[in-house]
Chain A
Amino acid sequence: MKIVILGAGQVGASVAENLVRESNDITVVDIDAAKLQNLQDRFDLRTVHGFGSHPSVLRQAGIEDADMLLAVTQSDETNLVACKLAATLFNTPTKIARIRCTDYLQQKDSICSADNFSVDYIISPEEVLKDYIYKLIEYPEALQVLDFAGGKVRLAAVNAVHGGPLVGHELQSLRQHMPHIDTRVAAIFRKDRPIIPEGKTVIEAEDEVFFVAAAENIRVVMREMRQLDKAAKRVMIAGGGNIGRRLAKSLEQRYQVKLIDHNKKNCERLAAELNSSLVLFGDATDPDLLQAENIEDMDVFCALTNDDENNIMSALLAKRMGARKVIALINRSAYVDLVESGRIDIAISPAQATIGSLLAHVRRGDMAVVHSLRRGAAEALEAIAHGDARTSKVVGRRVEQIKLPRGATIGAIVRGEQVIIAHHDTMIESEDHVILFVVNKQMISKVEKLFQVDIGFF
């Protein structure tokens, strides 16, 4: 696919990196020549220096025969204008804009319609990250919780711990433990190596277990893998940037939130916007401040500043001083490897956490949701099955009949409002949303092909 990306910032660069790997033709546009040079040195792509929404720059970037425009600059307005121009001047088939401002997001349907800014899909990385962290606070035991089918189905990752009723038992005994609750273990990672789960697979302590269940059953299933902690009540957030602010705003009704920022002006802005959160002016790596604000009573500490080192340090400090669970936002992938499985409970790579929302639009086959997992090694997909038994390779077949590559499992099916946890004899119908787990990225193209409809269908 030929794709034009506007903006070579954090989002643009990580998108470019992922898409180049998936053998797309990428052109990146930015006004910062140094960033472009850096990208060009690392990846096989074209760069154009200029202002993203100017038609001449777009033309130079080859928009005329591009399949997709990805407008992910810092400025919402530039992104919107670029999409509109791409639609009216160049007839670009797919236009995706990154929108930050919540005011725009609230009106997104009318703003994005073809009459207005002609945006086909909106991505909002800050919003995605906020949801991601929110769910980690909602399920304090989980390593990751992902939504499918608008939240009806969730995929959760959890570390199995001694004492969980299922630990040390075969997977098939799950049925006897919980006769009324349907779930499916999609994958198990033992010492970072994937195990394809079968009925006889025994869960061991320290295993990272991925399972699919209806949203309301997630906690019950989790209890099988480990003892549940008490639900979080007190949350401290370091860094009141775009993510910290959004997170505090959505948390403050249900949790006691303390938000630390080191910029006085920003603190005042935050305090004006937030209602019940306590905004603190200071440095999150200052032990005296953490001490004074009772860090030892915090259930979750989130380090969400722009600075990796600061996040790591403040998260380590908070953990040391007694915070129950610490989460750090870390941009550099090298650091993520460094700190995870260390004292920091969860290290989140913003690029990895948000790339999925874009990948869904790039993939062949009709993908509703794509989540990138385990630093991009694995993926969870929500694919929509179209066609009939003749044109499609999945519709009208039972799960066991589908020629899935080894390492890919079907976790659940959403049919309209109904959630069906997949078993070997579950029949797939047209328009079903199929939730798949793929332990190895290499297999993704095979999965995509499964869900493509034969030409005859059209």
Chain B
Amino acid sequence: MSRFFPILHVLGMVTMLFSLTMLAPLALSWWLQDGALTAYDEAMVTTFGAGLLTWWSTRHAKRELKIRDGFLLVVLIWSSLAAFATIPLMIYLPGLSFTDAYFETISGLTTTGATVLSDLDKLPPSINFWRTELVWLGGMGLIVLAVAVLPLLGIGGRQLYKAETPGPMKDSQLTPRITETAKGLWLVYAGITVACMLSFRWAGMDWFDAVIHSFSTMGLGGFSSHDASFGYFDSPRIEAVTIVFMLIAGINFATHFMAWRGRSFTSYRHDPEAGMFLGVTLLSAAGLAAYLQGMGVYADFLTALRFAAFNTVSIATTTGFANTDFNLWPIFAPLWMLFLSSFASSSGSTGGGIKMIRAQILYKQVYREMKKLLHPNGVMPTKLGGMVVPNKIIYAVLAFLFIYIVSIVSLTLLMTASGLDMITAFSAVVATINNTGPGLNQVGPATTYAVLTDFQTWVCTFTMLLGRLELFTLLIVFTPAFWRK
């Protein structure tokens, strides 16, 4: 047991840090007098106390974290912080079961945006704020935040960072020190969020909506303070602003960071993912608009474009906002959107799925295999952005894709076995593993995940965490080899 003490020590510290994030909804609740004040002070004290106790009782077990510790720590941080985050919800909504509350907070932290709550418009503002704050924190990553703020993570910080950051190639170092990298990323993230907030306000939201929707947009989460999501605003201008910022958040933040540091846009040109991501997403939006008009869903192209563009970009970037019930569209359109969500967003962005870079590597690998048949003597490395992709990364990507497909298939079967229809089961799994949010049929954009049984809810909760931690980090903890001494 004592070998876990160093992990628990760090976990305690991160938990204490996390409790401070409850200050924001606490202050908001106090200021607005929305009646949820008691939910936060109790939650904060409990969280801080639990963290302090863990930290203090393991204070003699300080040592540098090993690679193996990193995986466990990341999994523990994500699962336990989500548990602490349920406290305000459960106190304010006594009828809410832990299963549903945990689903909700995991959905927030993993930036999925699937919800079990309804009557969102009637919830106190501070509760909605807390939900979207979780999205915002989880978007850039809890560990990245901890590494940025807590200097004592030291070398172990890089391991943790790698275990959490999405994408196949994590060795690109923006700065010599990992703390500086984490700080830089958070700074850029926060900066763009402020820009998003001001743009929303300009586009016509009130300040409160602007804040929480900018959190939700930049984290590519999808939580809203309205049951009707963006349908509530019914404003093409707001939708256009949202599309722009969803696309920005779907690009690698390391690229944004380099652009900001170099004060030039050249880094976007050198990012092989960004162009492809924008191209695929926007082309799909235009294509689906034409398709919807052709199928007679919308009479004129501009209306079709408005709805197709917003929902396609929203689903493809794994955000999950909706301004109409796309479940009513011909099935091809939502399926195509779900398909996009599984690979469109970039590595190092706040989006989910297998990431564009993996899709590009896989595509190039297929092309290379075929070319190899034509030229048996050819030496043709797989290249991305002019750089050779090492074979070990290709193997890792292939293994990743395999386990991704296996996860989708087996979890879909599990959901079907528990009594769901095929489309609901499949779309729920795809929407949660990609951290998208709304699925189809019973879990479509017009409904919530509340229809699921407890068992199905737990499966979805697990799937969201699986997707956010990019499969390996979570699955490795379940292998016997991991626990062998």
Contact = CB atoms under 8 A, between A and B. Distances in A.
Interface of A: 264, 267-268, 270-272, 275, 278-282, 289, 292-293
Contact of A268 (B375, B376, B381, B386): B381
Interface string B380-408: 11010011100000000000000000000
Nearest to A279: B379
A280 B375 CA distance: 8
B381 A289 contact: no
Contact of B377 (A268, A270, A272, A282): A282
A278 B380 contact: yes
A102 B476 CA distance: 46
Q: Which 6 A-B pairs have the closest CB atoms?
A: A267-B379, A279-B379, A272-B388, A280-B377, A282-B377, A271-B379
Contacts of B376: 292
A202 B375 CA distance: 50
Contacts, number: 35
Contacts of A278: 375, 378, 380
B377 A281 contact: yes
Contact of A293 (B375, B380, B381): B375
Contacts of B378: 278-281
A21 B426 CA distance: 84
A318 to B, nearest CB: 16
A282 B377 CA distance: 7
A264 B378 CA distance: 11
15 contacts: A267-B379, A271-B380, A271-B381, A272-B381, A272-B383, A272-B387, A275-B383, A275-B386, A278-B378, A279-B379, A280-B379, A289-B377, A292-B376, A292-B377, A293-B375
A281 B378 CA distance: 6
A279 B386 contact: no
Contacts of B388: 271-272
A215 B381 CA distance: 39
B377 to A, nearest CB: 5
Interface in B291-350: none
Contacts of A292: 375-377
A293 B377 contact: yes
Nearest to A272: B388
Contacts of A282: 377
A292 B379 CA distance: 15
Contacts of B380: 271, 278-279
A282 B380 CA distance: 14
Contacts of A281: 377-379
A267 B388 CA distance: 13
Contacts of B379: 264, 267-268, 270-271, 279-281
Q: Of B376, B378, B381, which is in contact with the most chain A CB atoms at under 10 Å from its CB?
A: B378
B272 to A, nearest CB: 13
A268 B388 CA distance: 10
Contacts of A268: 379, 381
B370 to A, nearest CB: 14
A124 B388 CA distance: 28
Interface string B417-447: 0000000000000000000000000000000
A264 B383 CA distance: 18
A271 B381 CA distance: 7
A368 B376 CA distance: 48
Interface in B182-226: none
A226 B242 CA distance: 66
Nearest to B381: A271
A75 to B, nearest CB: 27
B152 to A, nearest CB: 40
Interface centre among B375, B378, B379 (most CB of A within 10 A): B379
A271 B389 CA distance: 12
Given A267-B379, A272-B388, 12 more contacts: A268-B381, A271-B379, A271-B381, A272-B381, A272-B387, A278-B380, A279-B380, A280-B377, A280-B379, A281-B379, A282-B377, A292-B377
A395 B378 CA distance: 59
A140 to B, nearest CB: 25
Contacts of A271: 379-381, 388
Contacts of A289: 377
B148 to A, nearest CB: 35
A282 B376 CA distance: 10
Nearest to A260: B377
B264 to A, nearest CB: 20
A311 to B, nearest CB: 19
Nearest to B371: A278
Nearest to A283: B377
B332 to A, nearest CB: 36
Nearest to B388: A272
Contacts of A270: 379
A60 to B, nearest CB: 46
A48 B378 CA distance: 46
B425 to A, nearest CB: 45
A281 B380 CA distance: 10
A281 B375 CA distance: 10
A271 B377 CA distance: 12
A270 B388 CA distance: 11
Nearest to A280: B377
A278 B376 CA distance: 11
A340 B387 CA distance: 42
Contacts of B386: 275
A256 to B, nearest CB: 12
Contacts of A293: 375, 377
A292 B378 CA distance: 11
A280 B380 CA distance: 8
A126 to B, nearest CB: 22
A365 B469 CA distance: 73
A292 B377 CA distance: 9
B185 to A, nearest CB: 29
B184 to A, nearest CB: 29
A270 B375 CA distance: 16
B346 to A, nearest CB: 23
B293 to A, nearest CB: 39
A139 to B, nearest CB: 29
A280 B383 CA distance: 16
A377 to B, nearest CB: 41
A251 B386 CA distance: 17
A178 to B, nearest CB: 45
A261 to B, nearest CB: 8
Contacts of A272: 381, 383, 387-388
A275 B381 CA distance: 10
A278 B383 CA distance: 13
B383 to A, nearest CB: 7
Interface string B50-91: 000000000000000000000000000000000000000000
Contacts of A280: 375, 377-379
B241 to A, nearest CB: 39
Contacts of B381: 268, 271-272
A268 B381 CA distance: 7
A341 B386 CA distance: 42
A279 B377 CA distance: 8
A272 B384 CA distance: 10
A264 B388 CA distance: 16
A282 B379 CA distance: 10
